[in-house]
Amino acid sequence: MAARIGIAVFPGSNCDRDVHYILNNIIGVEADFIWHTQDRISGYDAMIIPGGFAFGDRLRPGIIAAHSPIMQEVKRMAKHGVPVLGICNGFQILVESGLLPGALMMNDSLRFVCRWTSVQVTNNKTPFTSQFALKQTFGIPIAHGDGRYVADSKILKELKKKNQIVLRYESDNPNGSTDLIAAICNEEGNVMGMMPHPERASERILNLDRSRNSSSEAITIFWSLVSNLKQKAIA
């Protein structure tokens, strides 16, 4: 059975089409847009909450979108082990919806940051990082104004204890995130939020990491997900 992935779309989403194109045309897996008012979702093996500027971000990024009907379905799916990936604004929505701990706040520079950075894989046991080697580093673009992941000492201790920190910025901290955190997952490992944009480095014409003068391996995020779905289908 072929895998099918849903892409949540909110008013203001602007990376949904990028993710849709990469999954359907580069990865070769069926992916569909799902409008945020949908309160019944079935037939999907994974969900992606893409980046953008979801409605209500002026109050706090992701706070209104987190209460959309579709997110109640995403919570239900996550509870049943369905992989859920939130990218940039999607990460903010996952945090605001309570699926991931901590908070996303304004960059410590107080400026929007849009450039390439480098991250290291600190957990390759998730559905989104299983095709990476542990401690592998790769270049990936970022584009955010509220990308500073903040966790107090209690949350940070739990994240480390339960191996929930998935990606860390390799050296420079582009937004001031706690412990250089670029991505985290839930305790079960099936829900991951990441601030960098893998979909912006998943096509050959776009994926040259100029800081390394080499192709980015960011697309491995999506290949890992598809590999995980195929393994589950076989099992």
Given 20, 36, 144, 197, which residue is catalytic? 197
**Catalytic: 199?**
yes
Quick check: 198 and 140 in contact, CB under 8 A?
Answer: yes
- Strands in 54-94 per DSSP E: 84-87
Neighbouring C-beta atoms of residue 228, cutoff 10 Å: 21
* Residue 87 · residue 15 · CB < 8 Å: yes
Q: Is 67 one of the annotated active-site residues of the chain? A: no
* Residues 144, 71: Cα–Cα separation, whole Å: 22
| Catalytic residue selected from 15, 20, 73, 199 | 199
203 is catalytic: no
Q: Which of 15, 73, 88, 185 is catalytic?
A: 88
Answer for the pair 195, 147: CB distance below 8 angstroms, yes or no: yes
Residues annotated as catalytic (active site), given as ranges: 88, 197, 199
